[in-house]
Amino acid sequence: MIKPHGSDELNPLYVEDEQKRAALLAEAEALPSLLLNSAAAANAVMLAGGYFNPLTGYMNLADALSAAEKMHTVDGLFFPVPIVNLTNDTGVTAGSRIALRDPNVEGHPVLAVMDVEAVEAVSDEQIAFMAEKIFRTLDEKHPGVATFTGLGQTLLSGPIEVLNFSYFKTDFPDTFRTAVEIRDEIAANGWEKVVAFQTRNPMHRAHEELCRMAMEQLDADGILIHMLLGKLKPGDIPADVRDAAIRKMVEVYFPPNTVMVTGYGFDMLYAGPREAVLHAVFRQNCGCTHLIVGRDHAGVGDYYGGFDAQTIFDEEVPEDALELEIFSADHTAYSKKLNKVVMMRDVPDHTPDDFVLLSGTAVREMLGKGIAPPPEFSRPEVARILSDYYQSLDAG
């Protein structure tokens, strides 16, 4: 199986040993506490599951600035975004041991224990520098910029030991999986070549066929449909609705034992190209050999060019940085001439009238009115689940 990123073995930061975990929980009750923001909590969950291998905790300021500017730490570890614990709490001191509390679970239980190696003040200029490098904009209307620049200006760095997976295991017991669990399942299936498909949205016909095309062209053993389960911007479809729609599509339209439907506990960055590279890092940690990168991957609004998330791998990612390979996808649409979904670059003889093209906005409006999108765009079983959701919003 493909090696994890940056090490021979995966190094998840979740404390598996029950006795050790119980002892840490007991110790944590007597430690000074820090209530994390959702971004830092999501980073802890990803570290816990082995997704951010080989990191052992939160980056210090030098590494964060280096990752933002050059996509590697000061020591040269390739990492495309800073993994940080930024806070407004200035009461923490270097050398202390603290309990990190979960902002997303009622009662704010302890999520992790941290050995604080450094407490560093981050200037407005440094926050702006990192944000501009990560998001390619400083526009406060960009949801990722708005979140990042509001996290705080005190950076706490050091190793962590994670004691649970926040709300993800309880809210999504059938879907949330760690990188360790995904690797184990890939091995149990005997899959060698595995294609990952990233999504924060339900999957329509174009997405479904894109997975099928990648699997066929790469002669892959299986597909990992890997959905984000954390915080999204207003208007995005909730994870439980998306999960139901994707599972129905896989159940009806894919052969048995060819698709794993899973999810991961992270808040969406909307960082376009940089987030695509982060997706590649943690899919390699999952054991995937390929990642589908399509049009406007991890984008939002008009902040990124349609294929910037592909060109970053050619222009900015060093050749030896990742073992995982990218499957670059073009615009996909339903061809009326061929009666199937195609990548538009593969049919140069087509005119615009030969395609069925619908905007996401148009589809949402149709679903909200109880009108099924055309079957060329969305499977009826999927459309029914989404229509019920949109109509429930209108009824509310």
Q: Are residues 241 and 352 in the same domain?
A: yes
Q: Quick one: what percent of the chain has pLDDT higher than 70?
A: 98
Q: Quick one: pLDDT at residue 95?
A: 97
User: Is there a domain that residue 225 lies in?
Assistant: yes
Radius of gyration of the chain (CA): 21
Q: Are residues 174 and 322 in the same domain?
A: yes
User: Is there a domain that residue 1 lies in?
Assistant: no
Q: Are residues 376 and 282 in the same domain?
A: yes
pLDDT, tens only, 133-145 = 999 999 999 999 9
Q: Quick one: pLDDT at residue 233?
A: 81
pLDDT, tens only, 103-125 = 999 999 999 999 999 999 999 99
User: Is there a domain that residue 4 lies in?
Assistant: no
Q: Are residues 269 and 385 in the same domain?
A: yes
pLDDT grade for 358, boundaries at 50, 70 and 90? low
List the single range of 8-22, 159-173, 197-211 with lowest mean pLDDT. 197-211
Whether residue 234 is predicted with pLDDT greater than 90 in this model: the reply is: no
User: Is there a domain that residue 11 lies in?
Assistant: no
List the single range of 147-151, 179-183, 309-313, 331-335 with lowest mean pLDDT. 331-335
pLDDT, tens only, 72-90 = 999 999 999 999 999 998 8
Closest by CA position to 29, among listed 151, 163, 149, 128: 163
Last residue of a domain, one of 166, 187, 210: 166
Last residue of a domain, one of 166, 194, 214: 166
Closest by CA position to 51, among listed 79, 75, 28, 92: 79
User: Is there a domain that residue 158 lies in?
Assistant: yes
Please state, rounded to an integer, the average pLDDT across all residues of the chain: 94
Q: Are residues 24 and 76 in the same domain?
A: yes
- CATH code of 187's domain: 3.40.50.620
Q: Are residues 262 and 190 in the same domain?
A: yes
Q: Are residues 144 and 293 in the same domain?
A: no
User: Is there a domain that residue 183 lies in?
Assistant: yes
Whether residue 126 is predicted with pLDDT greater than 70 in this model: the reply is: yes
Q: Active-site residue 200, yes or no?
A: yes
From the candidates 21, 189, 201, 364, give the one annotated as an active-site residue. Answer: 201
User: Is there a domain that residue 335 lies in?
Assistant: yes
- Range of the structural domain that residue 155 is part of: 18-166
Q: Are residues 109 and 197 in the same domain?
A: no
Q: Quick one: pLDDT at residue 359?
A: 63
Q: Quick one: pLDDT at residue 151?
A: 98
User: Is there a domain that residue 162 lies in?
Assistant: yes
pLDDT grade for 356, boundaries at 50, 70 and 90? confident
- CATH code of 111's domain: 3.10.400.10
Close Cβ partners of 206 (under 8 Å, ≥ 6 residues apart): 332, 333, 334, 341, 377
From the candidates 21, 189, 200, 295, give the one annotated as an active-site residue. Answer: 200
Q: Are residues 119 and 29 in the same domain?
A: yes
Q: Are residues 146 and 175 in the same domain?
A: no
Last residue of a domain, one of 134, 166, 198: 166
> From residue 378, how far is each of 182, 194, 356 by CA, in Å?
28, 25, 11
Q: Are residues 128 and 34 in the same domain?
A: yes
Q: Quick one: pLDDT at residue 292?
A: 97
Q: Quick one: pLDDT at residue 374?
A: 85
pLDDT, tens only, 5-59 = 999 999 999 999 999 999 999 999 999 999 999 999 999 999 999 999 999 999 9
C-alpha–C-alpha distance, residues 151 and 59, integer Å: 15
Q: Quick one: pLDDT at residue 361?
A: 67
Q: Active-site residue 201, yes or no?
A: yes
- The count of domains in the chain is 2
Q: Are residues 160 and 294 in the same domain?
A: no
pLDDT, tens only, 312-352 = 999 999 999 999 999 998 888 888 889 888 888 889 999 98
